[in-house]
Structure 1
Amino acid sequence: MTTTTTWTWLGDHLALDLANTVQESGGAMVDLLPDAESFASWREAAPHPLPWCPAPGEQDLAAVRSLRDDVLALLHAALQGADLPEDAVSRVNGTVRESSTTRHLESVGLAVAVPAGGSPFTRLRGVLAAAAVDLLARDDLTNLALCRAPGCGQFFHRSRPNQRWCSAGCGNRARVDRHRHRRATTVLDGS
C-alpha cells in the first residue's frame, strides 16, 4: 500500500533531496521510496533536471535506495566532522564513473551533471551521485544542518546561522512538543 507524499520539501540541493527520501516517523526512519509509484512521484516532483528513466524494477529501485543510503552516511559523517566512510565514497565515485557523468556549465553559477553512458537508471544514479560529490566537495559545509524537530530528521541548508529547523512547520512542531513536555513535567512535579 502506497502512502501519498506531497514532497513539499523538495528544492534544496539535489543530494539533500535524495537523502531526504528517508524521514523520521514515530522514532523510526521511514523509506519514502518503497515502490515504483513513490519513486515516480518523487522524480516527477523534483525541481532538478534528471535524466529520463522508465518505471523502475525492484533491482533498479534497490540501487537508487542503496545510493541514497551511501549519501546519507556521507552527509552524517560530514555533519559530525568525521572522516567520510571509505566504502560509501568508493561506491558513490564508482557510480559517477560507471555513468561517465561530467559537469556542463549552463550559466554563471549553474552547472548540470550530464551522464554519458549506461542504462537509464545508471545515468540517473550517476547524476544523483555527482550531486553528492558536488555538495561534499564544497569548502564550506557550515550551513548544512539536520532538522531535529519531532517527525523530521531531514537535512537542509541554513539560511541564517542560528536556524535550527528546516521549515517554519518543523519549528512550530518542536516548540509545541517542548511546551507539552514542560507542561507534563510541571504537572508530574506537582508545581
Structure 2
Amino acid sequence: MELASTIRHDGEGGVVDDLATVRGTTRWIQQQAGNLAPQEFLTGELLVDEELRDGIVGVRRAVRALFARVVSPAPPSPADAHLLMPPAEALAHLNAAAARELVAPQLDWPAEGAPVARLLSAEGDPRVRLVAALARDAVDFLSGPEREQLRACHAPRCVRYFIKSHGRQEWCRPSCGNRARVARHYERTRGAAGGEGTAGR
C-alpha cells in the first residue's frame, strides 16, 4: 500500500509522484524504516540510482495495474487509469521482480524467546534485494485476505487505493468523505437551481 501510495494528490489540482527522481526515491526508502528489512536498505550500503528507481517504479506500475484488476468492475484510481499495464503483463512483471532474489527460509530460535522466521538471501546486491522484497510484499498482499477489502477512493481530488476497514466505508479518509459529501450537496443544489430556472421560463 505504501508503494502504491507514492502516486498521490498534491492537495491542489494535480498528482505528485514521490518516485519521480532519485532524490525522491531515496527519501521514500528512508521513510520506510518500519516497513523494510534488512536495515541495510536504509543505510549508506544502498546506492539509490536511476536503475534502482526504475526497478521500484516498475514494481509500482505492476502493483497499481493489479490493484485496478482487484477493484474492477469499479473504476480504478484516476491518477494512472490511462497508463495501466495489461493485467497479464503486470503479473509477469511482478513475478519476475520477485524471482530476481533467491531466498531460503531460516528459523531463528533464541534460548529465551519465541522462534522467528527470516529469509536468507543468496543475492549480493542490496538494490536487487530491495526490488524483490517490494515485489514479494505485493505478492503476499494480492494473494492474501486483505485483497478483498481493497478499494479505490473516488472522493474529489483523491487518487489513493485503501483497505476498507468497516462495512460502509467509501473513502480512504474522513477528509475525503467530507469532500465527497460537499461535492454531492453542491451538485444537488446546482441541479435544483437549474431546474427552477428552467421551470420559470
- The answer to whether the Cα contact below 8 Å between 1:101 and 1:126 also exists between their aligned partners in 2 is no
Q: Aligned pairs, how many?
A: 174
**Of 158, 163, 170, which residue of structure 2 is paired with 1:164?**
170
**Distance of 1:123 and 1:96 partners within structure 2:** 9
Q: Are residues 55 and 150 of structure 1, via their aligned partners in 2, closer, same or farther at CA, if it must alter by over 3 Å?
A: farther
What secondary structure does 2:102 align onto?
coil
One-letter amino acid matched to 1:68? R
What secondary structure does 2:2 align onto?
helix
One-letter amino acid matched to 2:91? V
Q: Say whether 1:133 aligns with 2:139.
A: yes
Matching residue of 1:20 = 5
**Of 46, 51, 55, which residue of structure 2 is paired with 1:59?**
51
One-letter amino acid matched to 1:91? H
Q: Say whether 1:75 aligns with 2:67.
A: yes
**Of 7, 32, 35, which residue of structure 1 is paired with 2:18?**
32
Q: Percent identity?
A: 29
One-letter amino acid matched to 2:128? T
Matching residue of 2:78 = none
- The answer to whether the Cα contact below 8 Å between 2:103 and 2:120 also exists between their aligned partners in 1 is yes
One-letter amino acid matched to 2:21? D
Q: Which has the larger radius of gyration?
A: 2
What secondary structure does 2:162 align onto?
strand
TM-score w.r.t. the length of structure 2 is 0.72
TM-score w.r.t. the length of structure 1 is 0.75
What secondary structure does 1:71 align onto?
helix
What secondary structure does 1:180 align onto?
helix
Q: Say whether 1:90 aligns with 2:92.
A: yes
Deviation, structure 1 residue 55: 4.9
Structure 2 gaps of 5+ residues are: 74-85
**Distance of 1:178 and 1:111 partners within structure 2:** 49
Q: Are residues 116 and 20 of structure 1, via their aligned partners in 2, closer, same or farther at CA, if it must alter by over 3 Å?
A: farther
Deviation, structure 1 residue 79: 2.0
Q: Are residues 21 and 171 of structure 1, via their aligned partners in 2, closer, same or farther at CA, if it must alter by over 3 Å?
A: same
Deviation, structure 1 residue 45: 2.2
Q: Are residues 21 and 92 of structure 1, via their aligned partners in 2, closer, same or farther at CA, if it must alter by over 3 Å?
A: same
Q: More deviation in 112-121 or 44-53?
A: 112-121
Q: Say whether 1:45 aligns with 2:37.
A: no
One-letter amino acid matched to 2:19? L
